[in-house]
Amino acid sequence: MVLADESELRSTDERGLADEGSVSEGPRPYVARSLWLSSEALGLTAKIDVVEGSEDGSVIPIEYKRGKAPEVPEGAYLPERAQLGAQVLLLREHGYICNAADIYFAGSKKRISIGIDDTLLTTVRDAVRRVRVLCSRTELPPPLEDSPKCDGCSLIGICLPDETNLLRKERSRADDAAPSALRRLHPARDDRLPLYVTEPGARIGVDGSELVVRGKEQTTRARLPNTSHVSLFGNVQISTQALRRLMEQGISVTFLSSGGWFYGRAEGIGSNNVDLRMAQHRAAADPATCLQLARAFVEAKIRNSRTMLRRNHDGIAQSVLFELEQLARKAAESERIESLLGLEGTAARVYFGAFSGMLRGEAARTFDLDGRNRRPPKDPVNALLSLAYATLARELTVALGNAGLDPLLGFYHRPRFGRPALALDMMEELRPVIADSVVLTALNTGVVGESDFLRHPVGVSLTPAARKRLLLAHERRMDQIVTHPVFGYQVSWRRMLEVQARLLGRFLLGEIPTYPQLRPR
């Protein structure tokens, strides 16, 4: 819950003190403040602002409200009266005689007595029972429809009410329908930014609310509240204190080789959603669901490759575009995952065969690409593509983990030791429009040039400086604001991936009928 104002935070700070408050101390009449009471039997916990005791042994809970007293015959609205009803029930449960309750409205400096009768207490008991039932269900209640309440709700980024409702209704979206313009209730981009540490030997510690990275030549500081994620490349040291602070703040940390190969991820215990994990495992065990998702991933990948060529290749042959179109159609109708692999391979050959045509200026003269190869990449373009894919895979692993999904369990890519199969699944549709686009921009704008590559007998690698520049180019792309192809609002690519990961979760939980492909026009 977002803290509405600081009084709430203060009250949590003071909780330790409040726990010791007890009604029975002191001479009567007495007053106890911030009294915490809970009862298993009632299923309730409350912090009571003030409890007043009187000579005859009975007590009265008093609730402070900042606002003015409303002009209603009962003295206060139902939610407030129910709150006091609950406090009365708790006090009685703990053995106090309690037949009255008051609200103090600071706005009008009035203390109002609330009638405590059986109707109110029954209402409270019923409400508690309803909430309990709701909590015990595994599926979420559907989000509100077009509700003004959502604006400002702290769960907005997780709940995605308008997005989910749109996808629940539109069972089949026409292929080229214009994106529906939804209210964008969550921020267009993440306020926080990642920290990458690639310098060998750098040591990361923590000082106050800052991470301190000590390199050979300089010290860099990163504010924790400003950090979304930490990526450690190669031989970088991090202190236990720093790791613990990162876990506490829910900032995930990924460990990679100096070349960007993904080893793993450390995260706090915050966000695991067990029901979602179970739904994911069930879906992965169901061949029909696997096929449905695999088709969506591969079709979108082929269509997005086609879009890249159409946009960036001046002399693209119509026959190439046509062939990709045909392959995408076949992928959408494919009945077996094995045939999808074949279609994907063919499409990749066609696409990478034309890839060099998207290079411009100096880059077009210097670089060539003879199909896709890796481990080790044999030419500069492939070396860049490998790093860009590894970076995107890491990005998606984090997004999926944050959405409560298991990045290792995929639907199209089969699980294999240490392979983030689900991240690779989701990456299919995004490779062309994010990773390839980053590589092309870097080459076409001269951010990376011929002198940035080291040629070995077995292959080609990037200099450390060029690697940093490519990471920066990737970051710029992730932070770039674009129109969401399905929802029509402006968001950064990174936010778009987060939304996409959550929607995949919604699909797995059966709340939306299809997984929405991301296909920029």
Positions at the binding site for Mn(2+): 344, 413, 428
Instruction: Give residues 10-69 in contact with another protein (rule: CB under 8 A).
Output: 10, 13
Q: What angle do CA 16, 21, 26 make, to 5 degrees?
A: 150
Residue numbers 127-156 binding ligand SF4 by CB under 6 A: 143-144, 147, 149-150, 153, 155-156
Are 28 and 51 within 8 A, CB to CB? no
Q: Which of 57, 73, 79, 208: binder of another protein (CB under 8 A)?
A: 208
Given 468, 480, 483, 488, the residue binding another protein (CB under 8 A): 468
Residue 68 tokens read as: 């003015």
* Minimum distance of another protein from residue 506's CB (angstroms): 24
DSSP labels, 429-459? HHIIIIIIHHHHHHHHTTSS-GGGEEE-SS-
Q: Is 345 in the site for another protein (CB under 8 A)?
A: no
Q: Does 471 bind another protein (CB under 8 A)?
A: yes
Residue 144 or residue 247: which is nearer to ligand SF4 going by CB? 144
Separate counts of helices (H) and strands (E) for the chain: 17, 17
Would residue 371 be called left, alpha or beta, if left means φ above 0 and alpha means ψ between -120 and 50 degrees?
Answer: left
CA angle 408, 412, 416 (to 5 degrees): 40
**Pairwise CA distance, residues 284 & 276, whole Å:** 12
Distance between CA 194 and CA 196 in Å, rounded?
Answer: 7
How far apart CA 404 and CA 422 sit, in angstroms, is 12
Give residue for tokens 């030419």.
379
Partner whose binding site includes residue 2, from another protein, ligand SF4, none (CB under 5 to 8 Å by kind): another protein
For residue 21, the partner it binds in ligand SF4, another protein, none, with Cβ less than 5 to 8 A by kind, is: none
The item of ligand SF4, another protein, none sharing an interface with residue 475, based on CB under 5 to 8 Å by kind, is: another protein
Amino acid at 258: S
Binding-site residue numbers are: 344, 413, 428
Decide: is 234 part of the binding site for another protein (CB under 8 A). no
Residue 3 interface partner, choices another protein, ligand SF4, none, CB cut-off 5-8 Å depending on type: another protein
Q: Distance (Å, rounded) from C-alpha 441 to C-alpha 447?
A: 8
For residue 178, give both structure tokens.
């214009």
161 binds, among ligand SF4, another protein, none (CB under 5 to 8 A by kind): ligand SF4
**In this complex, which beta carbon is closest to ligand SF4, that of residue 158 or of residue 193?**
158
The answer to whether the peptide bond before residue 376 is cis (omega within 30 degrees of 0) is: yes
Selection from 494, 426, 495 nearest residue 156 by Cα = 495
The β-bridge partners of 227 are: 193
Contacts (CB under 8 A) with another protein, residues 243-282: none
Q: With binding defined as CB under 6 A, does residue 159 bind ligand SF4?
A: yes
**Which lies closer to ligand SF4 via its Cβ, residue 290 or residue 512?**
512
Q: What is the CA radius of gyration of the chain?
A: 29
* Gap between the Cα atoms of 142 and 202, Å rounded: 48
Amino acid at 342: G
Q: Is 217 in the site for another protein (CB under 8 A)?
A: no
The Cα–Cα gap between 45 and 34 comes to 13
Closest approach, Cβ 191 to another protein, in A, equals 5
Which one of ligand SF4, another protein, none interacts with residue 123, CB within 5 to 8 A by kind?
A: none
Binding residues among 168-197 for another protein as defined by CB under 8 A: 187, 191, 193-197
How many residues lie near ligand SF4 (CB under 6 A)? 10
* Closer of 66 and 149 to ligand SF4 (Cβ): 149
Binding site for another protein (CB under 8 A): 2-3, 5-6, 8-10, 13, 187, 191, 193-199, 202, 207-210, 213, 215, 220-225, 468, 471-472, 475-476, 479
Binding site for ligand SF4 (CB under 6 A): 143-144, 147, 149-150, 153, 155-156, 159, 161
